[in-house]
């Protein structure tokens, strides 16, 4: 029997801890704040941004949204980010990606004050993560949430063989850093990799962040393997599915995060957690 990891439950637990931190800050009259910037009217993005806003408010985080039309210039977008960089009420700034093609994504990301880069996408923060520096800095929320899940399930990463499939700047690459920092032996595979099974068959833990349904199945794993499915795909019926196809009787999978209900809820909970952490960091300095 495959054990199904309950991401919703862990996210709820994380949100409760975050709420305690918010209440503690409130005693000193401090309210953590997040600003979300969205450009254009992509439905999925709008839905996602509203979900973040709602969750932030429900926890007692000050949340503002800046919604711009598709034709906003790069200069104006950067001007708006600069205002937020200097707004003492805002601890975390998040720009919903993707952006329209006339805007250079890196120029936008690098215009965010690294100390307010709640998504952890700024190259300075990515560099600090890979260097495993002994300081406080934000980390991309999906990978950070995955690490929280692994810790909750007491997965021993020290010396473990871990395979990460996918090398996106949002999931695969920060995960690579986090796993190395946790002393795992890490293999990173991607679209150019040949013979994925050669690697996954030996792995204690496989994390898939490919974005293609049915990328992996039970035959890819060794008995008892832990599987984190960070894929978010729509199947032919428009149903949200992950990268891994399996059923309760799959022989090799020890545990797996379901889609939906696994990594997804952890990402938003981690965004809330990190907003509050960044508020705390700004007040100790």
Please identify which residue in 91, 187, 232, 275 interacts with its own copies, judged by CB under 8 A: 187
**168 assigned to a ligand binding site:** yes
- Check binding of 123 to its own copies (CB under 8 A): yes
**167 assigned to a ligand binding site:** yes
**Choice between 29 and 159, CB closer to its own copies:** 159
Backbone angles phi, psi at 204, to 5 degrees: -75, -30
Q: For its own copies, how many residues bind (rule: CB under 8 A)?
A: 35
Q: Which two tokens stand for residue 17?
A: 């801890």
Please identify which residue in 52, 116, 173, 220 interacts with its own copies, judged by CB under 8 A: 173
Minimal distance in Å, beta carbon 168 to its own copies? 10
Q: Which two tokens stand for residue 168?
A: 């996106």
> Active-site positions?
52, 96, 119
- Check binding of 199 to its own copies (CB under 8 A): yes
- Check binding of 192 to its own copies (CB under 8 A): yes
Minimal distance in Å, beta carbon 93 to its own copies? 18
> Which of 229, 254, 255, 261 shows the shortest CA–CA distance to 242?
229
What is the end-to-end Cα distance of the chain in Å, rounded? 49
- Check binding of 186 to its own copies (CB under 8 A): yes
Minimal distance in Å, beta carbon 173 to its own copies? 6
Q: What is the DSSP string of 116-185?
A: GBTT--SHHHHHHHHHT-SS-----HHHHHHHHHHHHTT---TT-EEEEE---TTTHHHHHHHHHHTT-E
- Of the CA atoms within 13 Å of residue 85, those in its CB half-sphere come to 15
- Check binding of 158 to its own copies (CB under 8 A): yes
Alpha carbon distance 48, 63 (integer Å): 14
- Cβ distance 223 to 252 under 8 Å? yes
Minimal distance in Å, beta carbon 131 to its own copies? 5
- Check binding of 220 to its own copies (CB under 8 A): no
Please identify which residue in 51, 131, 151, 234 interacts with its own copies, judged by CB under 8 A: 131
- Check binding of 224 to its own copies (CB under 8 A): no
Could you give the C-alpha distances from 68 to 84, 121, 253, 270, in angstroms and in order? 15, 21, 45, 26
- Check binding of 51 to its own copies (CB under 8 A): no
Please identify which residue in 45, 136, 193, 282 interacts with its own copies, judged by CB under 8 A: 193
Burial 29-55 (b: 16+ CB within 10 A, else e): ebebbbbbbbbbeeeeeeebbeebbeb
- Check binding of 38 to its own copies (CB under 8 A): no
**73 assigned to a ligand binding site:** no
Report the phi/psi class of residue 225: left, alpha or beta, with left for phi > 0 and alpha for psi in -120 to 50: beta
The contact set with its own copies (CB under 8 A) reads 106, 122-128, 130-131, 133, 135, 158-159, 161, 167, 169, 173, 176-177, 180, 183-190, 192-194, 198-199, 202
Annotated binding site: 166-168
């Amino acid at each position: 029997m495959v054990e199904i990891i309950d991401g919703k439950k862990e996210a709820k637990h994380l949100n409760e801890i975050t709420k305690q931190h918010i209440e503690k800050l409130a005693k000193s009259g401090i309210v953590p704040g997040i600003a979300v910037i969205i450009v254009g009217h992509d439905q999925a993005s709008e839905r996602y941004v509203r979900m973040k806003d709602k969750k932030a408010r429900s926890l007692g985080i000050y949340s503002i949204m800046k919604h711009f039309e598709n034709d906003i210039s790069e200069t104006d977008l950067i001007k708006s980010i600069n205002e937020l960089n200097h707004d003492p009420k805002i601890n975390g700034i998040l720009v919903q990606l993707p952006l329209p093609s006339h805007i250079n994504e890196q120029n936008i990301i690098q215009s965010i004050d690294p100390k307010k880069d709640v998504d952890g996408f700024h190259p300075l923060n990515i560099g600090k993560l890979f260097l495993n520096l002994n300081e406080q800095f934000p980390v991309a929320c999906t990978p950070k949430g995955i690490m929280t899940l692994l810790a909750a399930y007491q997965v021993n990463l020290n010396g473990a063989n871990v395979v990460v499939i996918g090398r996106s700047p949002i999931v695969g690459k920060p995960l690579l850093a986090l796993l190395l920092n946790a002393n795992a032996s890490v293999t990173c595979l991607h679209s150019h990799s040949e013979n994925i099974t050669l690697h996954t068959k030996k792995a204690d833990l496989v994390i898939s962040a490919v974005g293609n349904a049915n990328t992996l199945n039970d035959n890819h794993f060794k008995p008892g393997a832990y599987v984190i499915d960070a894929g978010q795909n729509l199947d032919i019926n428009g149903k949200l599915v992950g990268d891994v196809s399996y059923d309760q009787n799959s022989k090799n999978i020890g545990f797996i995060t379901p889609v939906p209900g696994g990594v997804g809820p952890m990402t938003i909970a981690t965004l809330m957690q990190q907003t509050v952490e960044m508020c705390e960091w700004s007040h100790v300095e």
